[in-house]
Every structure is written in structure tokens, then in C-alpha cells.
């Protein structure tokens, strides 16, 4: 899959006029755009945080604390400007089992341990392994996330008084009409003016219409009331008054560690995978590169702090990141502003935020879905290799029906197996005569997948007494390849025939045990390394 494909997709959904170079100085107009973009993101964060807290089975403030702290810390020290982090559904669905079985205190301890694991991954520079995610997996990821975001918004069409029932009658038609109006405003506003971010304009106008005409549709307050509302100075943990009480963590004992460790590992992996894939996507759109290890450290630091302050933890949010980028947010100011606005909503403006109709926020998220889904992937499915097309569809489906971490792992494994199969099929040899000897010019990589095919290339019984195996156009990759070379050498020796091995790397000279004396040294031997040194030293190789 060409890298330019994802770049073209990113360019299609961005605002080129708002792209900010890393060397460009901040101007009053740029700061205004960043602050307004942050306000838009904050408005969208409120119902998301409340909804994800509801999914995890905790109080809304637990989700809001996470959205504020994780969003603020990652905005300040994260690996890429423009990204938005907070409480996410991918983490919430894992947390719900822990909360139901052990209680919220164990959740906070898990979030702290999750953060420590993520910081460790960043210090070890494991974030660079995100490069191993192929582009078909990336396309499946964005498509799956778009579908997940879309399906998550459908729950807003349920009756707040009875979440098991869907809206009907006038309330449903009003909801659909307001959603459509919000989407129309977001689509048309940039054609009229770019002074105000289109999503913010859509939320403001629709909220004004609902309040002015008293339209009976679900609001943010209706959603929050299911879990106790959005109180400004309420402490759900009973540890004293104040908006940020210390969380009541489970006791740090060995028993606690064994309970929370599996959850922490899963949450850390999901959080990093989603964050790093979002980092890559935002990077394609904004022209930034790098920052994977820094993002791991930022996510981990944010989760450690959040756990101690009674938050449910979080990671990068692709939906809110897309809102930010499309609204013009290109620097850290937008993320910091979003976190500060969110805190202000909690402290002083919860009653106003509760009046915002969910229809306006659903309309914003639907536009995010349209912008996030890689529509051109539907047309290229017939033009790319079948394995790539299968991976795109597979990752999309697993993301929707399971979770992001599983989808990415499955996609990478399938892509790796497909590559190994194709590479294995490329091993072949061209034979020629040279001074009475038969020369096998081996072409293609020699590794575990092609080792059996390599052995089958040779006609041991009918070959002459002297055989030369030429590796100039091949590469020995692993221990299985070395074992295959040993096996071929033993077959010729058993027939009483002489064999020579040419153009093997210096490390192959050392690693081959029985066939090492058959190598013909040359000044132009390659110098690549074979990842089998441990196997030879421990006696795994050459045990015939």
C-alpha cells in the first residue's frame, strides 16, 4: 500500500489554509483560532466523558476528571500538537469488569499502574514499533473508528427516562432535524466565514434554537442525570470537600497487584496503540513527524496523575482530535484551552452545559465520522492486492466488534503472514556450469518461510561431484535459514560430493557449525547480520 495513499486521504479532510508550520510564530489571529478550536473540543468532550463514565460504571466526575487532567498533561508534553486526549470508550469497556468486581478504588490503582507501564514503554522507546503497522491496517483502523463513533452516537437517540427505549414521535423527528441542521451549518459555515470554527457555530446556533423555542429534545443534562448530574463542587468519594479530592486507591499490596496487573497491561496496550495510531493520523494531516516515545511518556504521566486524583484514565481521542484539526487547532494552545474550558464547565458552567442539546453534539460527531472514514478505500479495494484489501476489511470489522488493540494486532499478524508467504514463494535458483561444477545462483530471501523451498531446489543425486551455491542475490535472515544450509550441506556430504558456499556474510561464517568449512571467502562478501547468534551459542543450531 503506497504511503502517499494515506497522505492523500489526510489532505482530503484537512484545512490547508490552516496548516501551521513548525517555524511559524504565533499571531493574535492564530491564538484566537486555537482558543476557539479548544472551546469546540471542550463542548464535545463533556457528553463523551459522561457517556464513557457511564459505560465504565463510575460517576460522571470520574470521566470529567480524566478528560481534564489527561487532556491538559498530554497537550503540554505530548508528542504531537493538535492531538486531544481524554476518557475513551476503548478503555471504558475494559474498566467496567474491574469496577463491577472489585470497586472504583481498584480502578484508580489500575490507572496508576497503567500509566507507569506506559512511561516505561516511552523510556524504552517502544513507541517506534508503531512503524510496523502497515497502511492497510491504518486504513482499517480509521474506518473502524469512524463506524464505532457513529454507532456510539446512536445511543443518544434513546429515551433518557428509559435508556432501553428509542425516541419516538415528535421528539425523534425533532432530534433528527436538529442533527441535520447542525451538519448543514458545519458544512456551510466555512463557505461564509472562517472566523468561528464551524462545529462551534453549529453547537451554538442549534443550542440557541432549542432554548429559545423550548424544543423538547434530550440534553447533556439528561445524559448526566442518569449518573447523578454534573455538580460543580461535589465529591463522590467522601474524602472531604473540593473539586479535586485525592482518590481512595486500593491498598498497595501484592494481592492488589495481582488483581490490577492484567487490567493495567491491557489498558496500557490499548491506550498506547490508539494514541500512537492517532498520532500518525494527525501527523499526516498537519505535516508533523516523530514524537512516538514522547507521546508514550506523556500518556503515562497523565494517567499516573489522573489515577491519584480520581480519574478513570484515558488516551488519545481520534474523534476530538479530528474536531480540533478541522477547526484549525495546530498547536498545544488548542489542547490546553480545551482542558481549561472543560474545568471551567465543571466549576462554574455546568448548568449551562447541561442545556446543550445532544442533537448538536451528535451532528458534530456525524461530521467527524464523514471526515474520518477513508471513503477512497472503498474504491481501491479492487485495485490493491487481495491480501491488503482483506486486511482493511478485517481490521475494520474487528475494531467494530472487538476493540482497537485486538484489531491492530490481528491486522499486523495477518499482514506479516501474508508478507512471509509471498517472500517464501520468491526463493528460486538459476543453475549454470562453471569449470565442471554446477552453480546454483540462489535468488530471494532465505528465512523460516522459504527454508523448505530452498532445500527442494537441489538435485543432490544427479548433481556432479562439485556443487557451488551462490548467495550473492540472496540474504540469509534467521536461524531456520542457517539450519537449511546445514541440511543441504549434509545431504551432499552424504553422497560423497563436494560443495562450496559463496558470498555469505561474515556472521554466517561464524554461525554455521558443520557447513562453515565449506564457505569460500571473498573480499566482496556481504556484511548483513543474521539474528541467530543466540541459537548457535546455545546449541540449537548445528546439533546434527
pLDDT of residue 239: 41
Q: What is the pLDDT of residue 234?
A: 39
Q: Write out the residue range of the structural domain in which residue 436 sits.
A: 426-537
CA–CA separation, 93 vs 52, rounded Å? 8
pLDDT of residue 294: 92
- The alpha carbon of 152 is separated from its chain's Cα centroid by a whole number of angstroms, namely 18
pLDDT band per the 50, 70, 90 thresholds, residue 405: confident
Predicted confidence band of residue 518 (pLDDT cuts 50, 70, 90)? low
Same domain as 208, residue 118: yes
Helix, coil or strand: residue 335 = helix
Q: Which residue has the higher pLDDT, 72 or 481?
A: 72
Three-state DSSP at 427 gives: coil
195 located within any domain: yes
Cross-strand bridge partners of residue 446: 476
Angstrom distance (rounded) from CA 313 to CA 68: 10
Cell numbers given for 407: 484489531
Both 338 and 453 in a single domain?
no
Q: What is the CATH number of the domain that holds 498?
A: 3.30.750.24
Q: Rounded to the nearest 10 degrees, how much is the dihedral formed by the CA atoms of 281, 285, 289, 295?
A: -50
Asked if the model's pLDDT at residue 479 lies above 60, the reply is: yes
Q: How confident is the model at residue 18 (pLDDT cuts 50, 70, 90)?
A: very low
Q: Is residue 95 part of a domain?
A: yes
- 172 and 264 within one domain: yes
Q: How confident is the model at residue 535 (pLDDT cuts 50, 70, 90)?
A: very low
Phi-psi region of 250 (alpha: psi -120 to 50; beta: other; left: phi over 0): beta
For residue range 348-394, what is the model confidence (pLDDT) as tens digits? 776 777 788 888 888 888 887 887 788 888 888 888 888 899 999 99
Do 347 and 471 have their domain in common?
A: no
With a cut of 50, say whether residue 290 has pLDDT above it: yes
Between CA 388 and CA 5 the distance in angstroms is 13
Length of the chain: 544
d(CA 89, CA 108): 17
Of the candidates 102, 20, 3, which has an alpha carbon nearest to the alpha carbon of residue 58? 102
CA 419 from centroid of its chain's CA atoms: 22
- The answer to whether 479 touches 541, Cβ cutoff 8 Å, is yes
CA angle 132, 133, 135 (to 5 degrees): 125
3-state secondary structure 430-445: EEEEECCEEEEEEEEE
Residues 295-317, mean pLDDT to the nearest whole number: 92
Q: What pLDDT was estimated at residue 510?
A: 66
- Does residue 352 lie in a domain region? yes
With cell 484508580, the residue in question is: 108
**128-140: pLDDT as tens digits:** 887 778 888 888 8
461 and 314: one domain?
no
Which stretch of DSSP H or E encloses residue 470? Answer: strand 466-476
Query: How far is residue 466's CA from residue 195's CA, in Å, rounded to a whole number?
Result: 80
Q: How far is CA 231 from the centre of its chain?
A: 33
Reference 156, options 236, 218, 242; nearest CA is: 218
Least confident stretch, 170-174, 402-406, 432-436: 402-406
Of 375, 403, 436, the domain-final residue = 375
From the list 478, 476, 468, the residue with the least C-alpha distance to 519 is 468
* Mean pLDDT to the nearest integer, 254-270: 90
168 and 74 inside one domain: yes
Dihedrals phi, psi of 17, to nearest 5 degrees: -70, -15
> Would you say 280 and 290 are in contact if contact means Cβ atoms under 8 Å apart?
no
Same domain, 342 and 437: no
**151 has a pLDDT exceeding 80:** yes
> Does the pLDDT at position 486 exceed 70?
yes
Instruction: Tell me: do 353 and 444 sit in the same domain.
Output: no
Per-residue cell: 206 = 442549534
**192 and 279 in one domain?**
yes
Return d(Cα 463, Cα 202) in angstroms, integer. Answer: 79
What residues contact residue 505 under an 8 Å CB cut-off, 6+ apart? 476, 525, 526, 527, 528, 529, 530
Please state, in angstroms and rounded to a whole number, the distance separating the CA atoms of residues 544 and 533: 17
The predicted model gives 484-512 an average pLDDT of 83
Contact 277, 77 (CB under 8 A): no
pLDDT band at 74 (very low <50, low <70, confident <90, very high): very high
Please state the φ and ψ torsions of residue 40, each to the nearest 5 degrees. -60, -45
**Quick one: pLDDT at residue 105?**
86
Give 110-130 pLDDT, tens digit per residue.
999 999 999 999 999 988 887
Q: In 16-77, where does DSSP find H-type helix?
A: 28-56, 60-77
Identify whether 86 is part of a domain: yes
358 and 434 in a common domain: no
pLDDT at 283: 80
Which pLDDT band, with edges at 50, 70 and 90, does 13 fall under? very low
Q: Tell me the average pLDDT across 267-287.
A: 84
- Average pLDDT rounded to a whole number, residues 207-223: 85
Look at residue 531 in the predicted model and tell me its pLDDT: 52
The last residue of one of the domains, among 332, 360, 375, is 375
| CB contact set of 80 (below 8 Å; sequence gap of 6+) | 279, 282, 283, 286, 288, 291, 295
For residue 11, being part of any structural domain is answered with: no
Query: Grid coordinates representing 311?
Result: 480519574
**Where among 358, 375, 392 does a domain terminate?**
375
C-alpha cell at 173: 423527528
Same domain (yes/no): 86, 172: yes
Per the structure, how many domains does the chain have? 2
Containing 233, the helix (H) or strand (E) segment is none
For the cut 70, the answer to whether the pLDDT of residue 536 exceeds it is no
CA torsion sign, 44 to 46 to 47 to 48? positive
CA angle 221, 222, 223 (to 5 degrees): 90
Three cell numbers at 296? 508514550
Confidence bin at 152 (pLDDT 50/70/90): confident
Residue 238 maps to a domain: no
Q: Is residue 389 part of a domain?
A: no
pLDDT of 178-211, one tens digit each? 999 999 998 998 888 777 778 888 888 999 999 9
The mean predicted confidence, pLDDT, of the chain is 80
Q: Residue 390: what pLDDT?
A: 93
Residues 60-81: what's their mean pLDDT?
88
Looking at the structure, do residues 220 and 116 belong to the same domain, yes or no? yes
- Give the model's pLDDT for residue 245: 47
Q: What percent of the chain clears pLDDT 90, i.e. is strictly above it?
A: 25
For residue range 228-257, what is the model confidence (pLDDT) as tens digits? 444 443 344 344 444 444 556 777 888 889
- Residue 514: the pLDDT is 57
Of the pLDDT bands very low, low, confident and very high (cuts 50, 70, 90), residue 25 is low
Residue 272 lies in a domain: yes
Amino acid at each position: 500500500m503506497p504511503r502517499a495513499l494515506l497522505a492523500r486521504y489526510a489532505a482530503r479532510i484537512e484545512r490547508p489554509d490552516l496548516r501551521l508550520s513548525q517555524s511559524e510564530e504565533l499571531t493574535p489571529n492564530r491564538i484566537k483560532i486555537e482558543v476557539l478550536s479548544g472551546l469546540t473540543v471542550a463542548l464535545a468532550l463533556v457528553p463523551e466523558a459522561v457517556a464513557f463514565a457511564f459505560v465504565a460504571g463510575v460517576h460522571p466526575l470520574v470521566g470529567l476528571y480524566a478528560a481534564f487532567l489527561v487532556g491538559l498533561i498530554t497537550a503540554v508534553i505530548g508528542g504531537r500538537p493538535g492531538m486531544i486526549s481524554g476518557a475513551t470508550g476503548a478503555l471504558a469497556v475494559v474498566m467496567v469488569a474491574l469496577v463491577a468486581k472489585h470497586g472504583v478504588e481498584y480502578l484508580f490503582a489500575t490507572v496508576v499502574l497503567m500509566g507507569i507501564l506506559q512511561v516505561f514503554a516511552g523510556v524504552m522507546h517502544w513507541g517506534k514499533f508503531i512503524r510496523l503497522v502497515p497502511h492497510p491496517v491504518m486504513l482499517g483502523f480509521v474506518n473502524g473508528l469512524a463506524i464505532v463513533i457513529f454507532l456510539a452516537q446512536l445511543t443518544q437517540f434513546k429515551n433518557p427516562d428509559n435508556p432501553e427505549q428509542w425516541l419516538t414521535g415528535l421528539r425523534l423527528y425533532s432530534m433528527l432535524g436538529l442533527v441535520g441542521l447542525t451538519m448543514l451549518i458545519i458544512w456551510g459555515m466555512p463557505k461564509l466565514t472562517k472566523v468561528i470554527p464551524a462545529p462551534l457555530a453549529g453547537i451554538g446556533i442549534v443550542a440557541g434554537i432549542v432554548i429559545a423555542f423550548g424544543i423538547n429534545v434530550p440534553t447533556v443534562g439528561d445524559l448526566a442525570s442518569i449518573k447523578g448530574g454534573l455538580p460543580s463542587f461535589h465529591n463522590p468519594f467522601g474524602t472531604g470537600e473540593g473539586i479535586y479530592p485525592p482518590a481512595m486507591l486500593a491498598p498497595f499490596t501484592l494481592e492488589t497487584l495481582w488483581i490490577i496487573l492484567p487490567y493495567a497491561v491491557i489498558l496500557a496496550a490499548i491506550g498506547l496503540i490508539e494514541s500512537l495510531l492517532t498520532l500518525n493520523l494527525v501527523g499526516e494531516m498537519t505535516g508533523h513527524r516523530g514524537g512516538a516515545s514522547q507521546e508514550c511518556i506523556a500518556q503515562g504521566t497523565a494517567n499516573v496523575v489522573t489515577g491519584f486524583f480520581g480519574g478513570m484514565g484515558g488516551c488519545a481521542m481520534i474523534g476530538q482530535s479530528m474536531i480540533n484539526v478541522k477547526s484549525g487547532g495546530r498547536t498545544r494552545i488548542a489542547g490546553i484551552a480545551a482542558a481549561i474550558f472543560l474545568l471551567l464547565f465543571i466549576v462554574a458552567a455546568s448548568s449551562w452545559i447541561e442545556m446543550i442539546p445532544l442533537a448538536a453534539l451528535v451532528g458534530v460527531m456525524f461530521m467527524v465520522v464523514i471526515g474520518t472514514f477513508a471513503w477512497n478505500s472503498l474504491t481501491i479495494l479492487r485495485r490493491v492486492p487481495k491480501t491488503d484489501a482483506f486486511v482493511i476489511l478485517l481490521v475494520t470489522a474487528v475494531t467494530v466488534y472487538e476493540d482497537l488493540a485486538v484489531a491492530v494486532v490481528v491486522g499486523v499478524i495477518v499482514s506479516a503472514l501474508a508478507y512471509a508467504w509471498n517472500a517464501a514463494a520468491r526463493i528460486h535458483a538459476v543453475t549454470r556450469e562453471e569449470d565442471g561444477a554446477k552453480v546454483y545462483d540462489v535468488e530471494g530471501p532465505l528465512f523460516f518461510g522459504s527454508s523448505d523451498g530452498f532445500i527442494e531446489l537441489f538435485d543432490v543425486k544427479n548433481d556432479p561431484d562439485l556443487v557451488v551455491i551462490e548467495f550473492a542475490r540472496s540474504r540469509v535472515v534467521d536461524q531456520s535459514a542457517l539450519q537449511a544450509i546445514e541440511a543441504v550441506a549434509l545431504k551432499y556430504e552424504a553422497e560423497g560430493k563436494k560443495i562450496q558456499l559463496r558470498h555469505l556474510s561474515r556472521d554466517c561464517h561464524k554461525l554455521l557449525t558443520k557447513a562453515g568449512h565449506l564457505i569460500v571467502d571473498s573480499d566482496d562478501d556481504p556484511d548483513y547480520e543474521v539474528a541467530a547468534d543466540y541459537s548457535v551459542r546455545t546449541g540449537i543450531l548445528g546439533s546434527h
